[in-house]
Amino acid sequence: MIFSTSDLGGIKVGLDFPVRLMGVINLSPESFYKGSVVKDVKKAYEVAVEMVEAGADIIDIGGMSTAPYKETYISVEEEIERIKPVVKELAGSLEVPISIDTRRASVAEVALNVGAHIVNDTSGLRNDVRMVDVVREYGASLIIMAYGEVEPSLEPIINIRRLLGESLEMAISGGIEENKIVVDPGIGFFRETGLEWYEWDANVIRNLRRLSILGRPILVGVSRKSFIGAILNLKDPEERLIGSLAAEAIAVYNGASIIRTHNVTESIQAVRLAEYIRPKISRLMHGSGLVLTDLDTILREEDLIDLMEEMDVDRRGAKIMGPKGEFKVIHVHGIPKILALIIKQEMLAIGGEAATPSDTVFSGFEPTSILLMGTKKHINILMDKLRGMDLKSIKERGLPNASDLAEALEKLIKLSTK
């Protein structure tokens, strides 16, 4: 079900609950942000207590950096040696759940055995075939990050959704309870995509809400990451706090239910404000058992097709209905009145709507505005009609003609998908 909730180590997460904060503690000197690294159990405990007091709902412990642009892999034995005493101490001392950030089943098993509640697998279960079994056997919660090869011809968010969908299928078919799973789009982990990595990351955050059809709460980790440095020209992660807070707020505004951060004290203010301002999802839970969710401002054609396929709608039918489900409201200014009148009649004839100023009824060639309202299918039909409609009287005056509008609409729709 769209916008479902999950139980993450005993913490309820999802859009029906407050946005949760996950505090990051790294035990790996190789980590890109040295300010997150602690060297011993005592320091890890002190930092964790500070984070919990500042508002952290979960503490995430990592023993090995997995940044894709660094050679940071260590042996399994060393990773276990780093994380085991810290997880054991924090799990026995803190009232919040502990997450283990690892791609290795043997490391996850040790952490769960000494008190961890959540496995945060940045390989999306693809690195170690035993990970599904370990998570299931311990009844742990799971964070799945998008990971794998992408198709450059597809939108970033579509690539991310496909990868996450595959990992979700691996988890669920392996016996992990769906309501214990959260998804992570993997900000900072995609480098070979056909786009600059910072363009990719920005695009994913911009379109985050389109992951909603996976039916899992979304975790986002952007804290101090390199895309912020690339956009703001800040090479040192120490300088990226303000950029991190801005990105975290945008991620929350766009539907994130959990923010993974190095900076709990600062992040909680940005998160709470963005949470208060963000658009509310209109959902009705009827006493009869029906659940209704308004999707008109969330999903695009490709998302609707994927959602229908998930519902087992015939693919041919889904492709036909996809453009009918994406609603468009397009304001056009500078159009001759005579053309505006013609377009209004065309939109009404195909089942769409169009609004023009009241003086447009007097026709003429003066520039005016028109508001086009309809599905993407309506706009596509209108464009087809406009391409063969150029009016001689308008053309002779050198004014914007029907073919100009068709070309402009086509470019606008392409631009809106970037």
Using CA atoms, how far apart are residues 135 and 87, in angstroms rounded to an integer? 16
Helix (H) or strand (E) holding 119: strand 118-121
Strands 353-355 and 291-293, bridge-based pairing: unpaired
CB within 8 A of 326, min separation 6: which ones?
A: 299, 300, 301, 304, 375, 376
Using CA atoms, how far apart are residues 159 and 172, in angstroms rounded to an integer? 20
For residue 209, indicate whether it is catalytic.
no
What is the sign of the dihedral through the CA atoms of 136, 138, 142 and 146?
negative
Catalytic residue of the set 104, 260, 278, 300: 260
Q: Residue 34 — left, alpha, or beta (φ > 0 → left; ψ -120 to 50 → alpha)?
A: alpha
Find where tokens 């309870």 sit: 177
Using CA atoms, how far apart are residues 22 and 371, in angstroms rounded to an integer? 44
Q: Which residues of 307-317 are buried (b: 16+ CB within 10 A; e: fewer)?
A: bbeeeeeeeee
Rounded to 5 degrees, φ, ψ at 336 are -60, 145
For residue 414, indicate whether it is catalytic.
no
The three-class DSSP label of residue 360 is helix
Catalytic residue of the set 161, 225, 344, 377: 225
Residue 23 amino acid letter: G
Find where tokens 């969710």 sit: 293
Active-site residues, by number, are: 225, 260
